Amino acid sequence: MTIDVATGIVRILKQEGVGWVSTFPVCRVNNALGREGVPMLMMRDDRYAVAVADAFSRITAGSQGGSRIGVCTFQGGVNAAGMQYAYAGMAQAYEDGSPVLCITDGVPAGSSGNSQYDVASAMKTVSKWFGYLDKPERTPELMRRAFTMLRSGRPGPVILAIPNATATYDETADPYRPVKGWKSAPDPADVRAAVDQLLEARNPLIYAGEGVIYAGAAEELKALAELVNVPVITTLKAKGAFPENHPLFVGVRGDQVAHYLNQSDLILAVGSSLSPNRFSHGIPDAAKKTIIHCNVDELHINKMYPTAHAVIGDARLTLQALRQEVSDRTSGAGRTAGDVAAEVKGARDQALARYRQVMNSDETPINPYRVYGDLMQVLDLRNSFVTHESGNTRDQLSTVFDTLIPRGFLGWGNVSTLGFSLAAAIAAKKAFPGRATVAVTGEAGLGYMFGNLEVLLREKLGITVVHISNGGFAGYGPGFWGPGHDPFTHRVLGPDEVDMSKVIGALGFHTERVSEPAEIIPALRRALDVNASGRPAYIEFVCCQYPVYGQWVGRGEG
């Protein structure tokens, strides 16, 4: 059967279990999606088209229903306006290592080199793999390769450029079979070496990264931590990989995390790049510690710190192998030294005391921590999804929000790009429609979202946007980063000047504006009720600019 490339791609996507595709027009594959019955989620800009698909890959990663690949399309070709705008979304997906498939029009043969913007070289800087479909017969080959990249090894975006979507080929010549994706198990000698060190350490610490979630290895992480009786911290992106009510859980951010990072003599890193960023912890005095680095590939080994032992392989298989080795060495008894859980509790109680206090605060304007505390009371933490924004909401929520299931909270952002929370919430609703879904934002994040709010109404996506409305970019307020940000780039019109609940209410959202702490819980309940019938909600909480304490731990200091 002779078919055109666009139809061939869409049929392969269906074989690969892709249920919908996010887009911003136009891409020449889109009509084939429509004809073949694959729903399109049309966003209102190209960056969001990428971000929703990106977030869908992240949120479904390692879930019980199985990892699913988010797919998006946007404008490319010679007039690559869409692609230029989508670039921001791709850069973020690449930086965060998200396996999203981006399909775009390629520059047709004979037209290359005519524009200033060089599509191929630009795309290569933000993708694990960039494929250019130079012959229609290669459609199955390139799609096979794309899904191999998406489902195997270190996760990252794949971009396919289709220069001629109407060219035809024989569909039966090279029939497509779905790609399962492959994993590798670690070298047993490396596992033994790691366990030698682990059992000798006085103060080991497990540093869990998002690779644990991609590998679907949360259970294995818990089992190993319990067997070796070692405290656990997770990165921002791995928040939820370890149950945060577990006695061995130290935290994602906060003084207790700094304390454990400082006092540890051995770091067992699993599924993390260990590349400290603005929003992840470094390892202080790394040269004095033993770093065992378990990762899916060698890219991150010996990257910023000397790796004492690398264990290369899939995180789940690695954790299983480590556990088996410990169990064999200790006749199943594991490592029992000290009352680790009591120490963890003591450190957490001490570090969290100041936050627990303000989570009950009756002050007005409302303390943002009170909103987070009340949100935790309203949500079923085993059946809900919360995500933060760039700004104070990230640092505040990652310090105090208790996440009990993988992806009950999405932490994101090696470089956290404002506006992503709405995309994440949309993706979460698509992935798990039954879960209450909340995006917590400040005014900057909200500004990025505005154009895309219509999508929630059109698609009947029952999501609640919680706005910590504090009239400024709080992190850039007085005292932050020294002089220069305040008063210059700090204040915006706030709740005294603009009533955002009216603005967004006029769109058709259920909206409320809350100034009294006692009203937080009832307002959240009303919003979530409305969400259940597919209507989005926005709540403006009139808040103070409350400081964020502590820092992400750097490389040299505590």
Ligand X SMILES: Cc1ncc(C[n+]2csc(CCOP(=O)(O)OP(=O)(O)O)c2C)c(N)n1
Site for ligand X, rule CB under 6 A: 389-393, 416-418, 442-445, 468, 470, 472-475
Could you tell me the smallest distance in angstroms from the CB atom of residue 477 to Mg ion? 9
| Residue placing its CB nearer to ligand X in the complex, 31 or 361 | 361
**Taking CB positions, which residue lies at the least distance from ligand X?**
442
Tokens found for residue 135 = 């012959």
Q: Is residue 244 near Mg ion by the rule CB under 5 A?
A: no
- Other CB atoms within a 10 A radius of the CB of residue 34 amount to 12
Q: Interface with Mg ion includes 318 (CB under 5 A)? A: no
CA dist 474 and 490 (Å) reads 7
CB of 416 to ligand X, least distance (A): 5
CA distance 23 to 53: 9
Between 443 and 540, CB nearer to Mg ion: 443
Question: Which CB sits closer to ligand X, 70 or 472?
Answer: 472
The site string for Mg ion over 33-52 (x = CB under 5 A, - otherwise) reads --------------------
Asked if residue 295 lies in contact with residue 153, where contact means CB atoms within 8 angstroms, the answer is: no
With contacts defined by CB under 5 A, how many residues of the chain interact with Mg ion?
4
CA distance 542 to 471: 9
7-31: b (≥16 Cβ within 10 Å) or e: bbbbbbbeebebebbbbbeebbbbe
* Binding piece for Mg ion, criterion CB under 5 A, among 17-25, 136-144, 304-312, 464-472: 464-472
The stretches of 379-440 forming alpha helices (DSSP H) are: 392-400, 420-431
Stretch in the footprint of Mg ion (CB under 5 A) among 33-41, 191-199, 364-372, 437-445: 437-445
In a 13 Å sphere around the CA of 430, the CA atoms on its Cβ side amount to: 30
According to the binding rule CB under 5 A, does residue 171 interact with Mg ion? no
Distance CA 133, CA 162 (A): 5
Residue at shortest CB range from Mg ion = 442
CA-CA distances (angstroms) from residue 105 to 25, 33, 44, 81, 102?
11, 14, 19, 11, 10
Distance of alpha carbon 405 from alpha carbon 385, whole angstroms: 10
Integer Cα distance of 167 and 189 in angstroms: 52
What distance in Å separates the CA atoms of residue 208 and residue 273, rounded to the nearest whole number? 10
Chain residues 474-503 in contact with Mg ion, contact rule CB under 5 A: 474
Closest CB to Mg ion among 3 and 548? 548
66 burial (CB, 10 Å; 0-12 / 13-18 / 19+) is exposed
Q: Name the minimum Å distance from CB 438 to ligand X.
A: 15
Q: What is the largest CA-CA distance in the chain?
A: 70
Residue 520 Cβ vs ligand X, minimum distance, rounded to whole Å: 16
The interface region with Mg ion, picked from 169-177, 200-208, 272-280, 434-442 by CB under 5 A, is 434-442
| 390 contact choice in ligand X, Mg ion, none (CB below 5 to 8 Å, kind-dependent) | ligand X
The number of helices, as runs of H, and strands, as runs of E, in the chain is 19, 20
CB 387 to ligand X: min, Å? 14
Choose between 171 and 443: whose C-beta lies nearer to ligand X. 443
Query: DSSP assignment, residue 106?
Result: P
Contacted entry of Mg ion, ligand X, none for residue 195, CB cut-off 5 to 8 Å set by kind: none
Q: Which does 417 bind (CB under 5 to 8 A by kind): ligand X, Mg ion, none?
A: ligand X
Given ligand X, Mg ion, none, residue 416, with its beta carbon under 5 to 8 Å by kind, binds ligand X
Q: Which residues pair with 513 in a beta bridge?
A: 540
Distance of CA 173 to the CA centre of its chain: 39
Residue 470 sits in the site that holds Mg ion (CB under 5 A): yes
Residue 418 near which of Mg ion, ligand X, none (CB within 5-8 Å, type-dependent): ligand X
Find which of Mg ion, ligand X, none residue 106 binds, CB within 5 to 8 Å per kind: none
Tell me which of Mg ion, ligand X, none is bound by residue 475, counting a contact when its beta carbon lies within the kind-specific cut-off of 5 to 8 angstroms.
Answer: ligand X
Which partner in ligand X, Mg ion, none is near 393 (CB below 5 to 8 A by kind)? Answer: ligand X
Give the separation between CA 9 and CA 20, rounded to whole angstroms.
13
- Tell me the window of 198-206, 236-244, 440-448, 514-522 that interacts with Mg ion (CB under 5 A): 440-448
Residue number with CB closer to Mg ion (220 or 443): 443
Q: How far is CA 318 from the centre of its chain?
A: 22
Binding window for Mg ion (CB under 5 A); candidates: 155-163, 283-291, 322-330, 473-481: 473-481
Minimum distance from residue 233 beta carbon to ligand X (Å) = 23
Place of tokens 């060190």: 197
- DSSP designation for 108: P
- Report, in Å, the least distance between residue 279 CB and ligand X: 10
C-beta closer to ligand X: residue 95 or 255: 95
Q: Could you tell me the smallest distance in angstroms from the CB atom of residue 377 to Mg ion?
A: 24
Shortest spacing between CB 447 and Mg ion, in angstroms: 10
Please give the span between the terminal C-alpha atoms of the chain, in angstroms, as a whole number. 65
Cα separation of 41 and 20, whole Å? 7
Examine residue 442 and tell whether it contacts Mg ion (CB under 5 A).
yes
Residue 91 vs 162, nearer CB to ligand X: 91
Both tokens assigned to 239: 């928040």
Among 171, 443, 512, 540, binds Mg ion (CB under 5 A): 443
Q: Where are the beta strands (DSSP E) in 377-416?
A: 384-387, 409-410
**Which residues of the chain form contacts with Mg ion (CB under 5 A)?**
442-443, 470, 474
